[in-house]
A and B are shown apart, each in its own frame.
Chain A
Amino acid sequence: MPARLESGVRARLGDASRPWGHAVAIGAAAAAVLMAVTSTGDVILLGVLLGLAASDAVAGGVAILAGAGVIGRWGTSSLAALAGGQAVVGAGGWTGSELTVASTWGGALALLLVCPPGLAPAAAFGATAAQIVAGPALAEGSSTGMIALRVLVPLGGMVVAMALARLVPRPIARTGAVLVGVVAAGLAFAS
């Protein structure tokens, strides 16, 4: 790999001055992506992994808040049950009452806002947000277009997360994420 490209990739992956801590963060991000994409595991564990991926307690707290929203809406902390629920009644982002839809989008927005700069955290937070808004229900029917859409949604989440991390100042993004996360969780339990 050319040195300039390698340097650029390393810079995008994050702070290279702490390789061991960074390895933990990358590992946590990979674990979170796998959990979100395959819809296995528990939203609380996923929230902890996202916090580790971001190396940020606030990000972890927001991720767990988003998980609380999922629990409030779907009545379970299992990602498999979340996927099953969406496969039966439809994607969370446009199925259900106004309150539940708003809480779903709020949880996803909080995740995207709190995502720190970097490719790995963006992939993890983007995939999780996509799982909350539009889980495997999208792939129902298994047509090529739907499967492509199923792949594109997490990618879209990742792109949005990277864009927000670049465009929105971090203090504003973190504060906004906490507020939106609290409101989303509250809406989920109130609905």
Chain B
Amino acid sequence: MNGEQVLLAVAVACPLAGTLLGLLAPSTVVGRRILKSGALVSAVAWGALLVLSSAVHVGGFHSGPLVSSTACGAALLLISVDRDAPTRPALAASGFSLVFIQAALATGGGGGNGGALVGGLAASASCALAAAWEPGRVGGVLAPPAAAIGVLATAVGVFLVHDETSAWLLPAVGSATVPRNAVIALVIGAAGLCIAGGLRPGRSTVLLLAGGLGVGARAGPLLGIAANVAPAAPGTSEGLAGLVLALALVAIVASLLRKPPLAIAMLSLAVAAGPLRLLPASRLLAAAAVLALAIDRAPAWLLVVPGAAALVVGAVDAGSVLAIACAGAVATVGAVLAGVEFFDGAPATEARNRFDIWSVPTILAGGWLLLAPGRWTWTAAQELRFYDIGAARAAAAGLIAAVLVIAWWSRAPAGPETEPESDPQGEVEAGPEVEPGAGALPAELVLSERSAP
């Protein structure tokens, strides 16, 4: 085995090892940490394969840009899980959910083996739903039927592809034509899985979002080469306008419900089913959805910015009504998200608001996406090279300015003893007791703040 094959073996084996070792741990807390460690190693290995643009096989498993990115996203999502029941069965179900979803995505070649895909997704969804079982909550009630619809629709799509190609391997983009109905079924299946995964951050069902986006990223572009959809030359397809608009509508509803990752995922699927020129934007939006769900903090939806920038460039290039509609959908979702944040400043019900060491890898990945999306070569977003340059310079200037400001404010405050004449009534407290950060505020501001209830 060469180095890349070793990486692939590590990426596939670590979730299983983490699950088994986690079950042997003395407590579920320790077991969960072991499971997350295994997922983290797997994510790093898949990430390395992604950076290397690796396409190798080990047994029945293979790596490729879409496989590596989706599997890496699934592993990162498992690391973010912290609200499952603290029991060993839930721990086992959570771990096996990752094992099965990575097997579903990485088995076969080309676009993946249809049978393994459906079987793996079904097993993963069952495990994830069992680990995150919460029938008393709205999200807990909606997730099982959404996941079931997702798996069934994906199965229907695979069977329709099999009828056309007589093979169980899903065709890679550009390698064959597939029926229009098969693509529609696959995209609907992807949407169902994304809905099941995006409803409840912090539960094992989040893995289904990665699975759904993986299916959508493979199926959506197939429209561009489907002969019965694209009468013109390959690459000029406009996708299915109705499907694109329906997915965009779901995205807007999700943003109104304050589910930014789900909204971004739906946008990604909508754009993936649109003009082929928008494929880089679709992939960037998919990455943003996964990372935003894993980070699960209010500003995370800003990760949509690189995808939006790529979408604008692509839509201007494509120049079609559907491409402009996709850009409009992204703008609408962005406006709704900003509006909801503005008019309802309270944090989302379950958003994290404390530091968590396990969120560091996803935050780093999110920062990398925000600052250098052009470096994410698997998305093929070369048009963002100017974005990268500007973001790098802006980050440098912004960090320097922020550090200077923090250093300035953290200096010893200029206490009133330096200006005793400005406080003739002696109501301002001595310098060392001034609140940190209040620093050299005008005395009337400090007093008014302290007198406030």
Contacts and interface: CB of A to CB of B under 8 A. Distances in A.
B333 to A, nearest CB: 13
B403 to A, nearest CB: 8
B278 to A, nearest CB: 14
Contacts of B341: 57
A113 B102 CA distance: 51
B394 A34 contact: yes
Contacts, number: 137
Contacts of A155: none
Nearest to A49: B394
B418 interface: yes
A42 B441 contact: no
The secondary structure that dominates the B interface is: helix
B313 interface: yes
A17 B338 CA distance: 24
Interface of A: 3-4, 6-7, 10-11, 13, 16-20, 22-24, 26-35, 38, 40-42, 44-46, 48-49, 57-58, 60-61, 64, 68, 71, 75-81
Contacts of B335: 61
Contact of A23 (B390, B406, B438): B406
A30 to B, nearest CB: 3
A169 to B, nearest CB: 19
A19 B437 contact: yes
Interface string B412-436: 0010001100000000000000000
Contacts of A7: 414, 440-442
A26 B387 contact: no
Interface stretch (B89-97, B233-241, B302-310): B302-310
Interface of B: 302, 305, 308-309, 312-313, 316, 331, 334-335, 338-339, 341-342, 384, 386-387, 389-391, 393-395, 397-403, 405-406, 409-410, 414, 418-419, 437-442, 445, 449
A110 B399 CA distance: 28
Contact of B339 (A22, A29, A57, A68): A57
23 contacts: A3-B419, A7-B442, A10-B440, A16-B439, A16-B440, A17-B449, A19-B405, A20-B406, A23-B403, A23-B405, A27-B398, A27-B402, A27-B405, A31-B393, A31-B401, A34-B394, A35-B390, A35-B393, A41-B393, A45-B390, A48-B305, A64-B334, A77-B313
